Amino acid sequence: MKKEKIYLVLENGEYFAGDSFGGDFETVYGEVVFNTSITGYLESITDPSYCGQILVQTFPLIGNYGVIPEDFESERPWLSGYIVRDWCETPSNYRSTQRLDEYFKKENIPAMSGIDTRRLTRIIRNNGVMNGMLTKKAPPYSNEELEKIKEYTCAGVVNRVTRKEAKVYESENPKYNVVLWDFGTKENIIRCLTQRGCNVTVVPADTKAEEIKSLNPDGIMLSNGPGDPQENKGVIEELKKVCEYKIPIFGICLGHQLLALSQGAETEKLKYGHRGANQPVKDLSCGRVYISAQNHGYAVVDSSLPEHGKLSFINMNDGSCEGVKYTKFPAFSVQFHPEACAGPLDTMWLFDDFIKLIEENK
């Protein structure tokens, strides 16, 4: 069967011609980012942190184990588009329920295959992250079309991905009550908490500080999520109030950035971000290096941290801030994902540290 041609057009005018699979569309815009993970494509596809982005997988063959709903990180995919070198049309896995293109058709996510994804990745690495357009329209492209690509922004994405009402997840052996502030949380954060004896109440991003306090939590978890952290001014103001309650806090990814912003620190956009399962981070308390999974385009500026915010982890590739420990109130946060699926799990112990922090402050 002949495949329909589609095009990825970058804001600098470069374009790639490939084959369409997945959902039907005419034109889709997004921030083009790449992920270097070899496994875990289902977790990436369903990670809310990719909302508003066109995700490029550098690993050449994607879809070989099909679609496995039990491995999803949220109920649906949030990304704007998906790009691979080759997608496997005949997956082989006893847990698979359907092919990747069937899933994308059901969820109406446009996807593209048959391009040199590593060349595309080099362009992003050399020039920095840029916007792109997936389109059925063949070249050439006008200045007006390129300008429209440049104007695209990932705005309002936290409000899009956060749940609309609170939900409770109960542990089989409950010991603690934890509020998970949902900015686009991954399901495995919930699992990691319930496995450690926490009943988890997941609340929407627009929840007020007083509402969180009224739930009498033993601890507060700040989730991952998409977009520019500085855009979430309402959350930052409420988080500032929450910190005054001195309830133990653990922040991951966007939650880490929002916690820093609430304490007067600054964030900056990275050239092309960290997205993959092979990012080395150094624990400054002992000098040990861990391999971590990451998915973010912004970072906390460590030189802007307040006196009560101590740098705890750094990225070994570029020296950027990967973790902060606070001394004025019981809280710590990390930029990477200790709950990562499909891994690595080197830093899963941070959830145990959170439990210890809760116990110390009861």
- CATH code for the domain defined by 158-360: 3.40.50.880
Say whether 339 is catalytic: yes
The pLDDT assigned to 1 comes to 57
DSSP, residue by residue, 250-310: EEETHHHHHHHHHTT--EEEEEEEEEEEEEEEEETTT--EEEEEEEEEEEE-GGG--TTEE
Low-confidence ranges of the chain (pLDDT < 70): 1-2
Please name the residue ranges forming H helices in the chain: 41-45, 100-107, 117-127, 143-151, 157-161, 187-194, 209-214, 233-244, 254-262, 349-360
Report pLDDT digits (tens) over 161-212: 999 999 999 999 999 999 999 999 999 999 999 999 999 999 999 999 999 9
The pLDDT assigned to 253 comes to 98
Catalytic residue among 256, 274, 296, 337: 337
CATH 3.50.30.20 boundaries in the chain:
5-154
CATH 3.40.50.880 boundaries in the chain: 158-360
Domain 5-154: which topology?
Glucose Oxidase; domain 1 (3.50.30)
Tokens 């590593």 sit on residue: 118
Instruction: Say if CB 102 and CB 70 are below 8 A apart.
Output: no
Among the listed residues 11, 73, 322, 339, the single catalytic one is 339
274 is catalytic: no
The pTM score is 0.97
Closest CA to 276 of 88, 111, 80, 47: 47
Q: Which two tokens stand for residue 215?
A: 């739930």
Query: Quick check: is 73 catalytic?
Result: no
Q: Which residues of 304-335 are buried (b: 16+ CB within 10 A; e: fewer)?
A: bbeeebbebbbbeeeebbbbbbbeebbbbbbb
Return the residue matching tokens 């998906």.
Answer: 82
Of residues 192, 198, 253, 321, which has the active-site annotation? Answer: 253
